[in-house]
Amino acid sequence: MVSITGDMSPLHPDRNLALELVRATEAASIRSVPFIGRGQKEVADGAAVDAMRAFLTTVNFDGVIVIGEGEKDNAPMLFNGEHVGTGRGPKCDIAVDPIDGTSLTAAGRNNALSVIAVSDHGAMLDASTVFYMDKLVTGPAGVGVVDIRLPIGENIRLLAKALGKPVDEIVVSVLHRPRHEQLIQEIRDAGAGTRLMSDGDVAGGINAARHNARTDMCVGIGGSPEGIVTACAIKALGGHIQGRFVPGNDDERQRGLDAGLKVDGEVYEADGLVKGSNTIFVATGVTDGQLVAGVRREGDFIYTESVVLRGSSGTLRRITSEHLASKWL
């Protein structure tokens, strides 16, 4: 197997692996479709987990799940530490989220995705012991310019200058949560606009880092696992990402310390979240969104749209697939 680093070693995830992983996110998305808008997020997630795992068992790699379903959703499969794949091929760290946005799926809202991120073995930070992370994501213009330790207003002004646009044209994505009320007000006081997300901050981060996207920055406290997954994608986009853990209580803080995490406000840069650039990020739309279209069925066919981002080559590829519906009945 030829690696993405250009040698013949089987130690690194390669471009063929990226395309194989799309099959798993497509399957998870398709299997979740009957539950879109039905108000049963656990059932939707369970169907997606089953489908993703079934496909992952056929992929030629030795994957170890660093970020999985078990801790977050009490899932019996795709749990942290589980081995997936055939055991042949590159040894990799895996982050999975069969549905990023289970609440979005249950409500029939936009921006739900099925996601897998991959890095070289030992490169991905295990963030499972502390659930929340404060994050700052921008596109390439923010590299060396913005800093999560600065006030949000200053970061907005710095990014606007780097982008060559007025502050009042800057749009910042934030999860719409009570904990962000002050942050949202500070963004608006600085003169920027907000795009409030009900869920799904992986898509929010990626959209902020994409060229010619509708948003310029994504900030705020969201899931720590989602921060690691987003970092794998940002490596391919050349963007900026920083994170710092936000323990919910003293017990969680101690668990983080015991796991070797920095939990007292220290900042993780991109390479602290995922080492190196040898990353793969794949996502298939469950519902429509800015990043990808959702699954749709037309007669005898099911259509999916996916993105594949590879950090080593700095590419974003779109894959549209047409599936015979009879094969999924």
155 and 188 both lie in a single domain = yes
Dist CA 132 CA 30 (whole Å) = 29
- Pick out the residues of the known binding site: 45, 69, 97, 100-102, 132, 177-179, 199-201, 223, 226
- Pick out the residues of the known binding site for substrate: 100-102, 132, 177-179, 199-201, 223
165 and 38 both lie in a single domain = no
237 and 312 both lie in a single domain = no
Counting the structural domains of the chain, the total is 2
Quick one: which of 310, 315, 270, 314 has its CA closest to 14? 310
- Which of 236, 252, 273 is the last residue in one of the domains? 273
Dist CA 197 CA 175 (whole Å) = 5
In the predicted model, is pLDDT for residue 74 greater than 60?
no
269 and 283 both lie in a single domain = no
Residue 79: band (very low, low, confident or very high) from pLDDT cuts 50, 70, 90:
confident
Range among 7-21, 61-75, 163-177 with highest mean pLDDT value: 163-177
Residue 203: band (very low, low, confident or very high) from pLDDT cuts 50, 70, 90:
very high
Dist CA 23 CA 267 (whole Å) = 35
- Pick out the residues of the known binding site for Mn(2+): 45, 69, 97, 100, 226
**Do residues 184 and 196 lie in contact, with contact meaning Cβ atoms separated by under 8 Å?**
yes
* pLDDT tens-digit readout, 225-245: 999 999 999 999 999 999 999
Quick one: which of 17, 36, 47 has its CA closest to 285? 36
Task: Show the domain range for 267.
Answer: 132-273
Residue 125: band (very low, low, confident or very high) from pLDDT cuts 50, 70, 90:
very high
- Which of 243, 273, 303 is the last residue in one of the domains? 273
State which amino acid sits at residue 142: G
152 and 262 both lie in a single domain = yes
* Domain assignment of residue 8, yes or no: no
* pLDDT tens-digit readout, 141-173: 999 999 999 999 999 999 999 999 999 999 999
Q: Provide the whole-model pTM.
A: 0.91
179 and 284 both lie in a single domain = no
Q: How many CB atoms lie within 10 A of CB 76?
A: 9
